Amino acid sequence: MIVRTLQDLVGTDRDVEAPTFNSRRLLLAKDGCGFSMHDTHLKAGSETYIWYKHHIEAVYCVGGEGEIELIETGKVYPINDGTFYCLDGHEKHWLRAHTDLRMICVFNPPLVGNETHDEEGVYPLLTPDGEEKETAASNP
Ligand code: 9YT
């Protein structure tokens, strides 16, 4: 069994700082569970463009107010405590935090730990050693 607290992670290499959020990575690929799980704090007033083209992300909001806008349809969904969504179609989106927003996020395949968004809002697909995996798109 694995037991961790948020306080165990803050300020460690499992606490990944991005311009608009902190992602505290409770579970990573090296933990061997088949998914990663993050406690993510988005900053009030922030807007983040995201496209998880290599991953499925499921998200459960446990605090704050915000919204997600799907780029393809323009549809906007409010987010608050108790809202769940899953990007099972790798949807490009804007994530906006009206207040500080706390989200519990699950990734499949699991993140390895040091991923940050590239300019397209993408997390790379990495091996457990942090090397970029070749994909059909990168190796046609
Ligand atoms: C829903 C959300 O916060 N997405 C951006 C960050 C990502 N979940 C992460 O790496 O924790």
CATH code at 15-108: 2.60.120.10
Nearest-angstrom CA–CA distance, 82 and 12: 28
Q: By C-alpha distance, which of 107, 128, 105, 124 is closest to 115?
A: 124
Tokens of 115: 């991923």
Per-residue pLDDT tens digits for 27-71:
999 999 999 999 999 999 999 999 999 999 999 999 999 999 999
User: Which pLDDT score, from 0 to 100, does residue 140 have?
Assistant: 47
Express each pLDDT in 60-96 by its tens digit. Answer: 999 999 999 999 999 999 999 999 999 999 999 999 9
pLDDT of residue 96: 98
59, 93, 123: residue to mutate for ligand 1 pocket, most atoms within 8 A of CB: 59
Domain parsing of the chain, residue ranges = 15-108
Residues with CB under 6 A from ligand 1: 21, 23, 38, 40, 42, 50, 59, 95, 103, 105
What is this structure's pTM? Answer: 0.91
